[in-house]
Amino acid sequence: MTTMESCKFGVLGELSINDGAVVLKGARLRCLLAALLLRAGRPVSQHDLVHQVWDEPPTRANSTLQVYVVRLKQALGAHGSSVVRSSTGYRIDVDADQVDLHRFRGLAARQDPDTRTELGHLREALSLWRGSALADVTSEAMRFEADRLEEERVVAVERRIELEIVLGAHRELVPELRALNRKHPFRERFAEFLMLALHRGGRSADALAIYRVVHRMFADELGVRPGRRLAELNEQILGGREIGAPSCLGPLNQR
């Protein structure tokens, strides 16, 4: 495989090539490169590329795609040779470590029996995010991909917070957890972590107030009650019972 030893790509934010040294000005070119980078080293069919680059594919879309591939190779300059034709479409021959997304996934998947070591991997993984994934890649299909990537980030954040609570950082986490709970009001893990952090910090009344808010919101907007785990945590706090570490999330889901 021909690799881009000196070229690094970023999709966890605006599309980035060599820390901004190479700029792709065309929206279609950015969509095309992003689609290839999401599956770095693997072929992407012409059919998939067409529907990721265009919301409404033009007539003779495959021929037009070939033109954009040539333009992309030219825009990448010395690195353009790594965009190659495969039997079914195209691929970009680049090591996974040269794409921030694949570095993120590799680090986030590293489980370790030592909590601090695993936490270090997660912190390093999350530090690769520069903003919303594919922030300047605008096709409908690629925005769907961006939403899937954001879900991966949130799962990693959940895991990171869980480990930090295990290590006793509950007081420090309260402001972040309040912000996350506002941003993701129906994500019960963040409510659970916030209640647990408040309770362990001696603020049990505030923790119970969080449950009441969540319970009312779920009833009013979804017509359901919060899940069993959150309800049990509420009962434990009400009963003054000792509460252990948050239940383990297990391996992070990878696509």
Give the pLDDT confidence of 104-124 residue by residue, as tens digits.
999 999 999 999 999 999 999
pLDDT at 183: 95
Distances (CA, A) of 123 to 11, 97, 99, 104, 205: 18, 17, 17, 10, 31
Q: What is the DSSP letter of 209?
A: H
**Architecture category of domain 169-255 in CATH:** Alpha Horseshoe (1.25)
Burial degree of 10 (CB within 10 A; 0-12, 13-18, 19+): buried
Domain boundaries, the chain: 9-98, 169-255
pLDDT at 245: 59
Interatomic CA distance for residues 162 and 158, integer angstroms: 6
The structure tokens listed for 184 are 């993701």
Q: For residues 193-213, b (16+ Cβ closer than 10 Å) or e, as one string? A: bbbbbbbbeebeeebeebbee
The structure tokens listed for 112 are 């370790």
Q: With cut-offs at 50, 70 and 90, classify the pLDDT of residue 247.
A: low
In the chain, what's the furthest Cα-to-Cα distance?
69
Tens of pLDDT, residues 37-91:
999 999 999 999 999 999 999 999 999 999 999 999 999 888 888 999 988 899 9
Lowest-pLDDT range of 8-12, 45-49, 162-166, 240-244: 240-244
Tens of pLDDT, residues 150-185:
999 999 999 999 999 999 998 999 999 999 999 999
Interatomic CA distance for residues 93 and 86, integer angstroms: 11
Interatomic CA distance for residues 190 and 211, integer angstroms: 11
Q: With cut-offs at 50, 70 and 90, classify the pLDDT of residue 1.
A: very low
pLDDT at 246: 62
The mean pLDDT value for 131-160 works out to 96
pLDDT at 224: 94
Q: What is the DSSP letter of 13?
A: S
Q: What is the DSSP letter of 9?
A: E
pLDDT at 199: 92
Q: With cut-offs at 50, 70 and 90, classify the pLDDT of residue 251.
A: very low
Return the CATH number of 9-98, one of 3.20.20.140, 1.20.120.550, 3.40.50.2300, 1.10.10.10: 1.10.10.10
Q: With cut-offs at 50, 70 and 90, classify the pLDDT of residue 254.
A: very low
> Between residues 56 and 22, which one has the greater pLDDT?
56
Interatomic CA distance for residues 110 and 158, integer angstroms: 15
Interatomic CA distance for residues 119 and 199, integer angstroms: 23
pLDDT at 11: 96
Interatomic CA distance for residues 189 and 217, integer angstroms: 15
pTM of the predicted model as reported, rounded to 2 decimal places: 0.89
